[in-house]
Structure 1
């Protein structure tokens, strides 16, 4: 009875703070995500530990780890907030789409796609709270596996997980160079013409890198000198500075001043690539998530017929449209 009393002395806010810290294993990152001061987060965690009589975290060196009881508390907290989300869903159904929350997890390249489409949706539903998480493929895959968001956008959906994936639009990968690069004056290039150039690459685990390595292997081409940079924006800046060439989404060029970067006419490019809308199979989507799904599909129409299910062979062989 005593344990039950102490459990009920906790607050939803304390549990929300705990959940945010536990998922990031960082008080600083959690404070930033919650728009709170770091001491406030630490104080609420201490009050939660005192109320429950347990220590959900342990710190070894500078790293934070969940204890066994912390793992149990995180699982229970997620269940509790899932119940609250379902309640919110039912209330939203009664109130239409005037209130609610939409959680989106998108891979880094999709930041050129999703925010532009999210803007009109938010204007139409100003009281809908949106959480947009952007990360590399490994980060978003982890969020998908933990069922942390309503919808996910991948360029390479994790087929090893039990998911539903719907094709959204093409995301062709092209070779880019500074406008004053000698190769930029050529009308036709072969991969061998790039042999002396350094290629700037995303980190292992990135969907873009996965697509590049697969394409080169299929063509029987090899990589020369490479430099790994874990950000598309940093890669573009490095290309501008003359550090090397890169293979990026063609959509990335639309976010540069005209002419700063150019697409090289390399035979065998662009690499066919696409974006997909992904959810765990059987997930019960909220009315807001369903509305945003329809908004995306409508905004990106027309699309090829029969693309509502995921076929690995079809995705590998599907030709790219120029954008």
Structure 2
């Protein structure tokens, strides 16, 4: 066995497969064809001299050798990332790269801030991933990005979490709903109203259910929908009420496609956070964007 024959490219591919426990998902992440990826892993296994994965049914698992190699690859990747940051620091903040992962709901706010940052720092190479809460937490747990922008992370995660802006949640209805125009509605008045909710685990859904449970109201769920866009269309079609981030419904409210309901306790105020693993050394580019985020963050406006 001579690991000097292993390439960084092979190690990166192997680590992606180990992280996903899937050749197909690793190939998708790395933009490689599955046969090409499989060949690289096979060649690495031959270099190591022992199998790296075992297949049980349709699932693959790391062997003991594979786990040892995966741990080493993670160390190598971390060291290469630090090297990249050190080199970028020597060149100043105008060079380097920035990898962001943001919650789907934040796509109405952060890309505009990112656009201004890129215009001010054209030498920084920026990549951004938009995903739901579950996938965002998975990316955070495996330290795949520089910064994560989301609501409240899980309490059991060892992370730095800094809030930078309000995220008011509003209750919307179709314009024809009989409660439109009524003043100071009690939350209990909605106990028989059908609701359109995000998928289980969504931060918006968790906040909504917690609020109504505190009012002694169990929501009547008509539909569970996986995107804010689909929820807005469903509510506009008269299939129920919904609680959404105010940033996601600006256009629909302006056009009269949706209407705010005046319910006591609303808007529910959550906060947007910039998050990263505790102990992570942020690159100059990441630090610069974090500063930009706080300097140019949306200012609170009237609640209604």
Deviates more, 1:145-154 or 1:293-302: 145-154
RMSD: 2.6
Q: Which residue of 2 aligns with 1:298?
A: 295
CA displacement 1:45-97 (0-9 Å, x = unmatched):
22222222333333444434333333322221121011111111111111123
2:239 matched residue in structure 1: 243
Quick check: 1:136–1:205 contact (8 Å CA) kept in 2?
A: no
The residue number in structure 2 matching 1:84 is 80
- SS, match of residue 268 in structure 2: coil
Q: Secondary structure of the residue that 1:85 maps to in structure 2?
A: helix
Whether 1:285 aligns to 2:282 is yes
Structure 1 position 273 matched with structure 2 position 256 = no
2:37 match: 41
1:188 deviation in Å? 4.7
- TM-score normalised according to structure 2 size: 0.87
| Aligned equivalent of 2:168 | 172
> Which stretch of the first structure deviates more once superposed, 181-190 or 240-249?
181-190
Q: Distance in 2 between matches of 1:255 and 1:12?
A: 48
DSSP-derived class of the 2:220 partner: coil
* Structure-2 residue corresponding to 1:31: 27
What SS does the corresponding residue of 2:51 show, helix, strand or coil?
coil
Q: Is residue 240 of structure 2 the alignment partner of residue 264 of structure 1?
A: no
In the superposition, relative to structure 1, how do residues 220 and 276 fare at CA in structure 2: closer, same or farther (>3 Å)?
A: same
Residue 149 of structure 1 corresponds to 145
Per-residue Cα deviation, 1:15-68 (whole angstroms, up to 9, x for no partner):
222222332333333333323333322332222222223333334444343333
CA–CA distance in structure 1, aligned partners of residues 39 and 110 of structure 2: 36
1:53: which partner in 2? 49
Shift of residue 211 of structure 1?
Answer: 1.0
Distance 2:63 2:75 in 1: 18
Residue 316 of structure 1 is matched in structure 2 by none
Q: Is the partner of 2:130 in helix, strand or coil? A: strand
CA distance 1:74–1:235, shift in 2 (3 Å): farther
Q: 1-side partners of 2:23 and 2:255: how far apart? A: 41
CA distance in 2, matches of 1:27, 1:123: 37
How many residues matched? 303
Name which of structure 1's ranges 123-132 and 204-213 shifts more when overlaid on structure 2.
123-132
Structure 1 counterpart SS, 2:249: helix
Pair 1:242–1:293, CA change in 2 (3 A) = same
Q: Distance in 2 between matches of 1:262 and 1:51?
A: 63
1:96 to 92, 96, 115: 92
Q: Which moved more, 1:140-149 or 1:209-218?
A: 140-149
| Residues 199, 298 of structure 1: alpha-carbon distance in 2 compared, 3 angstrom cutoff | same
CA distance in structure 2 between the partners assigned to 1:58 and 1:182 by the alignment:
60
| CA separation of 1:45 and 1:193: change in aligned 2, threshold 3 A | same
Aligned partner (choices 10, 13, 19) of residue 17 of structure 1: 13
The unaligned stretches of length 5 or more in structure 2 are none
* Deviation string, structure 1 residues 168-195 (Cα, Å, up to 9, x no partner): 1111111122334343354553334433
